[in-house]
Amino acid sequence: MGTTQLLFWLLSALSIFSAMMVLISKNPVHSVLWLVLVFFTISGHYILLNAQFLFIVNLIVYAGAIMVLFLFVIMLMNLNKDAEPQKSIWMKLAGAISGGSLLLIFVSVVRSASEMQSKQALLKTGNIGLIDQLGKTLFSEYVIPFEISSVLFLSAMVGAVAIGKKH
Amino acid sequence: MPIQYYIALAVILFSIGVVGVLTRRNAIIIFMCIELMLNATNLLLVAFSKMHHGAALAADAATKVGVEGQLFVFFVMVVAAAEVSVGLAIIVMMYRNVHSVDINFLNRLKN
């Protein structure tokens, strides 16, 4: 087993464990910190797949901006106390069972799909994830969606201010 | 690395997100689980893009097959950032009105 395979298994185990801990933690601040760890491991997977631009964007946007926004809101509302109202044990059991059956269906579909049997994801090589390739495609073929997303950001900003301000 | 391993990992992360949405009552945790599901799909998109790139690389060394998948992940991140800003503003406003982020208080939206 090479270093790449070892890293893949390590990152996968760590990301699944921290995703479970996001659910199990009672304290919302701990959940946010575990979720940051999930994002770090997913960024590690992007590095393994040689998607370097997405690696750095994932770190900056998700682990940096979005999670800091979550932490900010939690601390602003003083929610970091353990007395969170819990659902009843039956509701939790029903949720876990339905999520587990969704997982079961997904896994059985993937295992029986003949198109996916012998396909390999290219690790470490391939230069499509570099910023030069992505930038050329983004600013030649996908320039209209890029500009539309700037309008989306503007409307999200206006919406956040309009919703958040005191009446 | 076989693509099925990546599919399995993304599916497990997605299902953990679904279970979180179904079992927790804190609106912020539910929001975080939605982010987790978005990230699982992002990982799967990147893995598929590398899969198609690897298949096309054997025929043509300078191929750019698969760039679209990674650009789509970029746009998903853009939409997620916009969604988080508006969603957190809604949660803050809900907290200001009912002094709780428990989603069971939201059932007054019914009438």
Contact B84 A69 (CB under 8 A): yes
- Start-to-end C-alpha separation, chain A: 62
Instruction: Report yes or no: B94 at the A interface, CB cutoff 8 Å.
Output: no
pLDDT band at B40 (very low <50, low <70, confident <90, very high): very high
Domain boundaries, chain A: 3-129, 130-167
User: Which residues, listed in sequence order, are joined to residue B26 by a DSSP beta bridge?
Assistant: B102
Per-residue pLDDT at B93: 87
Q: What residue in B sits closest to A67 (Cα-Cα)?
A: B32
> What is the helix (H) or strand (E) element at residue A51, kind and residue range?
none
Per-residue pLDDT at A83: 57
Phi and psi at B35, nearest 5°, equal: -60, -40
Structural domain containing residue B18: 3-108
Instruction: Report yes or no: A21 at the B interface, CB cutoff 8 Å.
Output: no
Residues 6+ apart with CB under 8 A from A102: B15, B18
> Could you give the number of structural domains in chain B?
1
Please report, for residues A7, A9, A91, A128, B22, the alpha-carbon distance to residue A2 in angstroms, rounded to integers and kept in the order given: 9, 11, 44, 23, 39
Mean of the pLDDT values across residues A155-164? 90
Per-residue pLDDT at B39: 93
User: Which residues, listed in sequence order, are joined to residue B102 by a DSSP beta bridge?
Assistant: B26
Three-state secondary structure readout of A118-150: CCECCCCCCCCCCHHHHHHHHHHCCHHHHHHHH
For the cut 70, the answer to whether the pLDDT of residue A86 exceeds it is no
CATH code of B37's domain: 1.10.287.3510
Instruction: Report yes or no: B11 at the A interface, CB cutoff 8 Å.
Output: yes
Cα–Cα distance measured from residue A141 to residue A137, given in angstroms and rounded to the nearest whole number: 6
pLDDT digits (tens, 9 = 90+) for A16-61: 999 999 988 888 889 999 999 999 999 999 999 888 899 999 999 9
State in words which class domain A3-129 has.
mainly alpha
More confident residue, A145 or A124: A145
A122, A134, A133, A115: which is closest to B55 by C-alpha?
A122
Residues 6+ apart with CB under 8 A from A67: A32, A35, A36, A39
ipTM for the predicted complex comes to 0.90
**What's the CA dihedral at A28, B6, B4, A6 to 10 degrees?**
-110
More confident residue, B108 or A10: A10
